[in-house]
């Protein structure tokens, strides 16, 4: 079993930056795929960014490239999502997710086995 706990959300203003954290515990491996998703009010959950627990490749939703950066700290079992120049439309619950398989479709939420409870990000003007 793998447990994921997000933190770092809150109320911010347009133009601010924010770093979300995901603490990972349990049995993981270098093959795990890790990702951030978000669900905005009234919308379906969408893929934001992903990377494998090992390696250097990162993957982003085409519509969100440029302001989001996914990173990890393997030594401390942490996954991060840096969000810069926050916009009103970034208001959402942000989720950390993990898939034990090395290969898959990054944006397909059904492929992820483990999920955190989410952290709320609210952007105000």
Q: Please, what are the averages of pLDDT over each run of 10 residues along the chain (125 residues)? A: 96 98 90 95 97 89 92 94 97 97 92 97 97
Q: What's the pLDDT at 22? A: 98
**Cα angle 29-34-37, degrees, rounded to a multiple of 5:** 160
pLDDT digits (tens, 9 = 90+) for 37-53: 999 999 999 999 999 98
DSSP 28: -
Question: Using CA atoms, how far apart are residues 123 and 64, in angstroms rounded to an integer?
Answer: 16
Q: What's the pLDDT at 28? A: 80
Question: Using CA atoms, how far apart are residues 56 and 86, in angstroms rounded to an integer?
Answer: 25
CB 24 within 8 A of CB 115: no
What does pLDDT average to over the chain? 95
């Amino acid at each position: 079993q793998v447990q994921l706990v997000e933190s770092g959300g809150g109320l911010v203003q347009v133009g601010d930056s924010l770093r979300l954290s995901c603490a990972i515990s349990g049995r993981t491996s270098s093959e795990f795929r890790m990702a951030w998703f978000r669900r905005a009010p009234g919308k379906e959950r969408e893929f934001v960014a992903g990377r494998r627990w090992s390696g250097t490749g990162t993957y982003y939703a085409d519509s969100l490239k440029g302001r989001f950066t996914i990173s990890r700290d393997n030594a401390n079992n942490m996954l991060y999502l840096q969000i810069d120049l926050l916009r009103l439309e970034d208001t959402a619950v942000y989720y950390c997710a993990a898939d034990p398989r090395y290969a898959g479709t990054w944006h397909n939420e059904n492929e992820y086995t483990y999920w955190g409870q989410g952290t709320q990000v609210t952007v105000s003007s």
